[in-house]
């Protein structure tokens, strides 16, 4: 059974019947289905390992970088999150051999 509540519904106190329905749900064990299958302990360990590897790959390091006042002003004009934008610009430039060659 799916119980759907809107924000307006939530503003009203629950009835005794609704409270009884919620209480009855506490004793029901979840059943795996195609959207939420049951996983073995080994599968869960593998998922955890993969998640930790991906997190380590995405973990960014802090560096100090000296920029000209004009470059910094242009970067800041991009608004909130400009440091993330600069990171992507640098990454794209380093992955483009021609841009890299022209900058050396």
pTM comes to: 0.47
Domains identified in the chain, total number: 1
Q: Would you state the pLDDT for residue 1?
A: 64
Rounded CA-CA distance 7/14 in Å is: 13
Tell me the residue range of the domain where 88 lies: 67-104
Q: Tell me the per-residue pLDDT of 65-103, one tens digit each, with 9 for 90 and over.
A: 999 999 999 999 999 999 999 999 999 999 999 998 898
Cβ contact 73:66 at 8 Å: no
**92 lies in some domain:** yes
Rounded CA-CA distance 61/37 in Å is: 36
- Long-range contacts for 56-65 (Cβ within 8 Å, ≥24 apart)? 60/87
**6 lies in some domain:** no
Task: Indicate the DSSP class of residue 29.
Answer: P
**8 lies in some domain:** no
- Long-range contacts for 90-98 (Cβ within 8 Å, ≥24 apart)? none
Cβ contact 85:75 at 8 Å: yes
């Amino acid at each position: 059974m799916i119980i759907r509540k809107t924000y307006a519904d939530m503003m009203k106190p629950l009835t005794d019947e609704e409270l009884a329905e919620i209480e009855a749900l506490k004793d029901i064990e979840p059943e795996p289905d195609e959207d939420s299958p049951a996983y073995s302990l080994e599968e869960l360990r593998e998922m955890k390992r993969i998640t930790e590897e991906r997190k380590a790959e995405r973990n960014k390091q802090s560096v100090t970088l000296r920029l000209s006042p004009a470059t910094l002003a242009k970067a800041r004009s991009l608004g909130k999150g400009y440091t993330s934008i600069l990171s992507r610009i640098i990454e794209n430039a380093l992955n483009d051999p021609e841009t890299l060659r022209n900058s050396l």
